[in-house]
Amino acid sequence: MKRALALAALSGALFCTQALARDQISIVGSSTVYPFATVVAEQFGKTTPFKTPTIESTGSGGGLKLFCAGVGIKHPDITNASRRIKSSEVERCAKNGVEEIVEVKVGFDGIVLANSRKAPRANLSLRQVFLALAKQVPDPKGGDKLVPNPYKKWSDVDPSLPDIEIEVMGPPPTSGTRDAFVELAMEGGCKSFDFIEKMKQSKGKRYKAICHGVREDGAYIEAGENDNLIVQKLDANPDAFGIFGYSFLEQNANLVQGSLIDGTTPEFENISDQSYPVSRALYFYVKKAHVGTIPGLKEFLAEFTRDRAWGPDGYLADKGLIPLIDADRKQFAQDVKNLSDLML
C-alpha cells in the first residue's frame, strides 16, 4: 500500500515537470569564472525583478559539454570557460542544434607562483620554472638530449637561486588552472630551448609531452583544487611554493607573496596590460536561441558588460578579476548588445 502510494507520488511528480517552464537563468562552467559570475548574478538578482541565476561549478570542459547538449529549457543558457571554446566543441554544439553562440571575453586571471612572506621573494624566469618542474629536461651537461629531471634544489637549476629543496604545491591535472599554468609558464620556458622549439612543427606530440609534462617524483605536489589549503600550507612551510589564481594572492597578501616571473610582479596593472606572462583570458558563452525565451537573459548580459561590473573600478575588479582594456571592453559590450555570433 505504502509502496503503491510512493510510486503514485513519483509518477505524478514526473508528469508535473513536463508542464514546468524555467524562469531562471541557468549557468554552468569553469570554477575560475564562478567567483566572478556569481557576484554578477547576485547583483542582478538584487537589482532587477528577475530571479537570481543559478550557477554550477562544473569546470570549463564539463560546462561546454552541458551547454552543447541542446536547445531548450533542459539545457543551460550560459557556460563559463577559463579558455576559449575549441572548434571541436563548436561542431559538437552545431550537431545538437546549438548553432548561434555569443562569445564574451570577461577579463584576465593571473596565475601566480607564490611563497610565504617569511621567506624572501623569488625572482624566476620561465625557463627556470620549466627546469624546476618538468618531467624531462635537457641534459645539464649539454647537448640535445633529454634526461629525467635531476634537479633537487633551486640552486641546482641556477646557482643564483636559493639553496632550498624544490617543493611546489599546485592543482591536479583536472584543474583549468593547471592547464593554463602548464601552457603559459612551462611551455613558455620550454620553448626557450631551440631544439625543443623546432620539434613543435615536426613532432607535435613529442613537443607537447616534453613541455607539458610535470615531474612526478615528489617535487611537484598535487594539493587538490582548494587554493585556500595551499595558502595555509605555504604559511606553515616557508620553503615551499604554491600555484594558484591571482585573487587568492590578493586576499592573502599578508601571508603570501607572488614571485616575479621574467622580472614582472603579478600585479593588477601588469596582468591587465599582459606584461605578466602567466595570465589567461576568461570567457563566457551565451546560447542565442535562449535570448527571449528565458526571462532576464538579455538584462543579465547587460549587467555583466556594464562598467560598474567589469570595468577597472567595478565590483568584479574588487573580487580579483583583471579587466580588459577599454577598447576591448567596448567592443565586447557592443557584440553582446547586437548578439553577434562567435567567430573562431
Partner 1 sequence: MNASSNPKPSPDGPRRVDVHTSQAMKLRLARRHAADRRFRAFGIAAIAIALIALLSLFISITSRGYTAFVQTRIALDITYDAEILGIGEEANAQDLAVADYRALIRKSMQALFPDVRERRERRDLLRIVSSGAEFELRAQLLEDPSLIGQTRRVWLTADDDVDMLIKGYIDRNAPETERRLGDRQIAWIEYLEEAERIDTFFNTTFFIAGDSREPELAGIRSAATGSLLTLLVTLLLSFPIGVATAVYLEEFAPTNKLTDLIEVNINNLAAVPSIIFGLLGLAVFINFFSLPRSAPLVGGLVLTLMTLPTIIIAGRAALKSVPPSIREAALGMGASKMQTVTHHVLPLALPGMLTGAVIGMAQALGESAPLLMIGMVAFIVDVPGGFFDPSTALPVQIFLWADSPERAFLERTSAAIMVLLAFLIAMNALAIVLRQRFEKRW
Residues that bind partner 1 (CB under 8 A): 2-3, 5-6, 9-10, 13-14, 16-18, 20, 22, 24, 26, 28, 31, 34-35, 37-39, 41-42, 45-46, 51-52, 54-58, 74, 117, 225-228, 245, 247-248, 250-254, 313, 315, 319-320
Look up residue 165 and give its DSSP letter.
B
Distance in Å, CB of 325 to partner 1, minimum: 20
Q: How far is CA 190 from CA 65, 133, 172, 282, 301, in A?
A: 31, 11, 20, 24, 39
Distance in Å, CB of 136 to partner 1, minimum: 33
Nearer to partner 1 by Cβ, of 125 and 177: the residue is 177
For residue 78, give the nearest of 132, 120, 24, 126 by alpha carbon: 24
175 alpha-carbon distance from chain centroid: 8
Distance in Å, CB of 127 to partner 1, minimum: 28
C-alpha cell at 238: 616557508
Distance in Å, CB of 91 to partner 1, minimum: 21
Nearer to partner 1 by Cβ, of 10 and 343: the residue is 10
> Do the bridges between strand 322-323 and strand 78-81 make them parallel or antiparallel, or are there none, so unpaired?
unpaired
Distance in Å, CB of 143 to partner 1, minimum: 45
Look up residue 136 and give its DSSP letter.
E
Nearer to partner 1 by Cβ, of 36 and 193: the residue is 36
Nearer to partner 1 by Cβ, of 47 and 274: the residue is 47
Contact assessment for residue 108 and residue 164, using Cβ atoms and an 8 Å cutoff: no
User: In whole angstroms, what is the distance from residue 183 CA to residue 84 CA?
Assistant: 13
User: In whole angstroms, what is the distance from residue 33 CA to residue 282 CA?
Assistant: 7
Which residues, 6 or more positions from 156, have their beta carbon under 8 angstroms from its beta carbon?
150
Distance in Å, CB of 172 to partner 1, minimum: 14
Nearer to partner 1 by Cβ, of 27 and 199: the residue is 27
Nearer to partner 1 by Cβ, of 31 and 115: the residue is 31
User: In whole angstroms, what is the distance from residue 248 CA to residue 169 CA?
Assistant: 14
